[in-house]
């Protein structure tokens, strides 16, 4: 998710601080009812997603979770929230270290989670390290969460990919020593690729047909612009054979007029590269 305006120019979605010989990675994501989750959605799924999105930020840094702090506004189904929270924290091996619970007035529920991780490799991967000549990779298909949200809204079909996204912690740790740039795809592959390009001062040339998608071919263009799949997007020297399953989807070029070339055509954010907030969309 987006960083605060005043924090722009700091390291990506995460803060990276050196403490006592260790490097800590800290991230905070906020979710608001009606913006980041569908009103009426199972609170256990909301809790899972809140944890998973933060764990995915740690994954992109190759970090191991140390624990989380929760900011919790009491909602309609606190017991279900705690169930999902427990499931997610157990899954990711991240203890609940503390936090704050507040009563909420009538209106949208807001939730915040801070995740603390320990870097396994230094320098910690950032968006800003892509080098001309790198190959661009993604760990898996995009578009699954889009189909999941549609299934959830239809009340039929498999909505798991939207409700219970998986953060790729092990993959991020394996990749951290080998990549030049890395981030998790939370807001849409094309948008996030443009962010790497801009942060690195390069152009990413993406081959759309090479991108693995979870959707029918007819929906490829949408899949490239939807978020919430939490795959890892990374660039690495062309000779690298990634140590985890990954798909080569393009190359890094010296900066051109546009941060992003899709099948050779320049794209800009004005072209609708992605969406910040899924639940707002329709």
67 contributes a contact to a copy of itself by CB under 8 A: yes
Stretch that binds a copy of itself, among 10-18, 177-185, 234-242, 260-268 (CB under 8 A): 10-18
64 contributes a contact to a copy of itself by CB under 8 A: no
CA dihedral 232, 37, 87, 152 (to 10 degrees): -90
Residue closer to a copy of itself by CB (options 68, 223) is 68
Beta carbon of residue 165, minimum distance to a copy of itself (angstroms, whole number): 17
Q: Which two tokens stand for residue 235?
A: 């660039």
Give residue for tokens 């999105």. Answer: 53
Give residue for tokens 């799949």. Answer: 229
Choose which of 76, 93, 97, 272 interacts with a copy of itself (CB under 8 A): 97
Stretch that binds a copy of itself, among 81-89, 156-164, 199-207, 219-227 (CB under 8 A): 81-89
Q: Binding string to a copy of itself for residues 101 to 140, with x set by CB under 8 A, is what?
A: xxxxxxxx-x-x-x-x-x----------------------
Beta carbon of residue 266, minimum distance to a copy of itself (angstroms, whole number): 28
Cβ contacts of 230 within 8 Å, gap of 6 or more = 52, 53, 56, 59, 165, 166, 167, 168, 184, 185, 186
Beta carbon of residue 216, minimum distance to a copy of itself (angstroms, whole number): 31
86 contributes a contact to a copy of itself by CB under 8 A: yes
First-to-last C-alpha distance (Å) of the chain: 19
Q: Which residues pair with 67 in a beta bridge?
A: 116
Q: Which residues pair with 24 in a beta bridge?
A: 17, 118
CB-based burial label for 223 (10 Å; 0-12, 13-18, 19+): buried
Q: How far apart are CA 234 and CA 247, in angstroms?
A: 10
Residues in the site for a copy of itself, rule: CB under 8 A?
1-7, 10-11, 13-15, 17, 19-22, 24, 26-36, 66-67, 69-73, 82, 85-86, 96-108, 110, 112, 114, 116, 118, 277, 280
């Amino acid at each position: 998710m987006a960083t605060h305006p005043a924090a722009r120019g700091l390291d990506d979605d995460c803060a990276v601080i050196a403490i006592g010989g260790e490097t800590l990675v800290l991230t905070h994501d906020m979710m608001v009812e009606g913006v980041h989750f569908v009103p009426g959605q199972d609170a256990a799924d909301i809790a899972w997603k809140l944890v998973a999105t933060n764990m995915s930020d740690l994954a992109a840094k190759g970090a191991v979770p140390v624990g989380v702090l929760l900011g919790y506004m009491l909602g309609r189904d606190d017991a279900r929230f705690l169930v999902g929270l427990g499931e997610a924290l157990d899954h990711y091996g991240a203890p609940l270290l503390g936090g704050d619970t507040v009563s909420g007035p009538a209106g949208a529920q807001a939730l915040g989670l801070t995740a603390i991780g320990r870097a396994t490799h230094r320098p910690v991967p950032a968006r800003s390290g892509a080098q001309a000549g790198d190959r661009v990779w993604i760990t898996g298909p995009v578009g699954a969460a889009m189909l999941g949200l549609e299934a959830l809204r239809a009340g039929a079909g498999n909505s798991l990919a939207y409700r219970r996204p998986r953060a790729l912690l092990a993959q991020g740790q394996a990749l951290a020593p080998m990549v030049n740039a890395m981030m998790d795809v939370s807001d849409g592959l094309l948008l996030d690729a443009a962010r790497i390009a801009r942060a690195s001062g390069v152009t990413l040339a993406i081959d759309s047909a090479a991108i693995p998608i979870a959707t029918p071919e007819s929906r490829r263009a949408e899949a490239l612009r939807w978020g919430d799949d939490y795959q890892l997007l990374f660039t690495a020297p062309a000779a690298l054979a990634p140590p985890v399953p990954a798909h080569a989807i393009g190359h890094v070029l010296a900066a051109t007029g546009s941060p992003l070339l899709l099948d050779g055509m320049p794209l800009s954010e004005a072209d609708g590269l992605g969406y910040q907030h899924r639940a707002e969309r329709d």
